[in-house]
């Protein structure tokens, strides 16, 4: 009995110092229900209450960060396994990849405007690199027939040189090739993540005199659809 009284008095003393239940239980090994009963009448100063609130918030933050890191690691593991499932692409596979990219992101010829050329626009540098490889190595277009246009929001004019350097390094085309810059005036979607220093606008890849290639791509797309087994 005396031991219990001493534990209770010690618990009250520690609580009066502003310690949390967890901290007290580390020093006094009793049931949490007993501790709650002993300390229900022990008040805390605002400073002590704030300390416990801050400590709880810090603990929640550590827990969130641990869960976040665990999810990131699991996500990276999935990506790494999936990446290894793709081996070196054959020319035919790369042909189909390029056609599919253009199907999704390329300019389509309209019946009201026949004779339009190949134009492919995107902000993803990986996609741009693959499409250029497709044009040069698979379709075998001449590099001098390829032109590049940059589209950026006008409030990023101060980063124009940096943006041009970025796309030049990405594509392997010299800076002199980027003569056509178009400035967008519409409001930027604030939900986008490629803003600030991560913003490099959109690059359009075009091919001079490519109306015939445009029609070939349309035929290839129809061929993929026809032989894909869909109804």
The reported pLDDT for the residue numbered 60 is 84
The reported pLDDT for the residue numbered 161 is 93
Segment 63-71 mean pLDDT = 88
In the chain, domain spans:
2-63, 91-226
Which one has a higher pLDDT value, 211 or 38?
211
d(CA 2, CA 91): 86
d(CA 104, CA 38): 68
Q: Lay out the sheet containing 202-207: strands in order across.
A: 119-122, 202-207, 146-153, 180-184
Listing DSSP states for 171-211 in one string gives: H---GGG--EEEEE-SPP-TT-SS-GGG---EEEEEETT-H
pLDDT of 208 higher than 90? yes
Which one has a higher pLDDT value, 99 or 22?
99
- What percent of the chain clears pLDDT 70, i.e. is strictly above it? 92
Q: What pTM did the predictor assign?
A: 0.71
H/E stretch holding 122 reads strand 119-122
d(CA 206, CA 117): 7
Copy the structure tokens of residue 85: 């499932």
pLDDT of 212 higher than 90? yes
Where residue 52 falls among pLDDT bands split at 50, 70, 90?
A: confident
Q: Comparing C-alpha atoms, which of 113, 111, 132 is closest to residue 121?
A: 132
The reported pLDDT for the residue numbered 188 is 56
Copy the structure tokens of residue 229: 């087994």
Q: Comparing C-alpha atoms, which of 189, 186, 170, 190 is closest to residue 178?
A: 170
CA pseudo-torsion sign 78, 84, 89, 90: negative
């Amino acid at each position: 009995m005396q031991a219990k009284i001493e534990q209770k008095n010690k618990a009250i003393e520690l609580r009066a110092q502003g310690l949390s239940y967890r901290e007290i239980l580390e020093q006094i090994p009793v049931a949490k229900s007993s501790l709650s009963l002993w300390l229900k009448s022990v008040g805390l100063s605002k400073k002590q209450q704030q300390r416990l609130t801050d400590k709880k918030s810090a603990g929640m933050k550590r827990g969130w960060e641990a869960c976040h890191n665990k999810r990131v690691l699991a996500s990276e593991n999935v990506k790494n396994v999936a990446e290894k499932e793709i081996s070196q692409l054959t020319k035919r596979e790369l042909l189909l990849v390029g056609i599919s990219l253009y199907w999704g992101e390329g300019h389509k010829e309209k019946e009201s405007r026949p004779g339009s050329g190949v134009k492919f626009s995107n902000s993803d540098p990986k996609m741009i690199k693959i499409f250029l490889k497709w044009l040069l190595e698979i379709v075998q277009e001449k590099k001098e027939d390829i032109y590049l246009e940059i589209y950026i929001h006008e409030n990023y004019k101060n980063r124009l040189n940096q943006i041009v350097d970025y796309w030049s390094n990405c594509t392997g085309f010299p800076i002199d090739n980027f003569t056509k810059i178009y400035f967008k005036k519409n409001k930027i979607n604030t939900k986008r993540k490629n803003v600030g220093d991560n913003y490099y606008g959109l690059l359009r890849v075009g091919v001079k005199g490519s109306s015939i290639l445009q029609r070939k791509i349309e035929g290839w797309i129809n061929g993929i659809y026809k032989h894909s087994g869909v109804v």
